[in-house]
Amino acid sequence: MAIYLDSANLDDVRRAMSLGFVVGITTNPSIIAREQRSAQELIPDLLRACDGVVFHQLRHGSFDDMLQEAETYERLSPRLGLKIPCTLTGLTLARRMSSRATCAITAIFSPAQALMACEAGVSYIIPYVNRSTRLLGDGVALVRQMAEVCRTAGGGTEVMAASLKSVEEVIAAILNGAQHVTVPWSILQAMAEHPLSQQAIEEFTAAEQSGLGRIG
């Protein structure tokens, strides 16, 4: 089980890395665009800010174009992970690159695609939970099916759930077979908090200050 930060914001990355248990970060073109910098400029800074795997999502195109981009980013660091869109071209590239870099298949929406990703030898598949719920009806059920496919295929491919918009979705994904999650900073913060935790802290603080020493 591992938690990744789904962000390209350097402040978020530094905060997440300071926690000590966030193992890496994931990015995609939309996340990169929010920072108003190109991936070529931003990815090296992210690698410096994060001591774990930094996933960069390749643009989809011809095999040769995707291979060239993959090799360009691969040279930046052995910690550079490749997120590859799930198409035949992407899967072919993943098979080529999976022995050289940490590869994940993304934009994946069916158990059949999960099986193909397993056969391509990737380390991770990254289903979009909330988006799948909106477009297909039940993103959590899709995670469960994909996790079962990965177990049956037996190649070591694991599920990293993404597009998680609430703490409840995070827990549902884990309970339904996702070995890893990638979440934005706001969700990471929310996972650590609960109103009853704050209430208990305030009660203990009040008891200490009043000299009672305990609360009943």
Active site residues: 83
- Who contacts 68 (Cβ-Cβ below 8 Å, separation ≥6)? none
Q: Tokens 């939970």 appear where?
A: 129
Paired strand residues for 22: 3
Q: What is the DSSP letter of 193?
A: -
| Cα separation, 57 vs 162, whole angstroms | 13
Q: Tokens 């993103």 appear where?
A: 139
End-to-end CA distance of the chain: 37
- Who contacts 202 (Cβ-Cβ below 8 Å, separation ≥6)? none
Q: Tokens 């994931």 appear where?
A: 26
Residue 35 CA to its chain's centroid (Å): 18
Mapping DSSP to helix (H, G, I), strand (E, B) and coil, where does residue 27 land?
A: coil
Question: ∠ CA 41-47-48 to the nearest 5 degrees?
Answer: 95
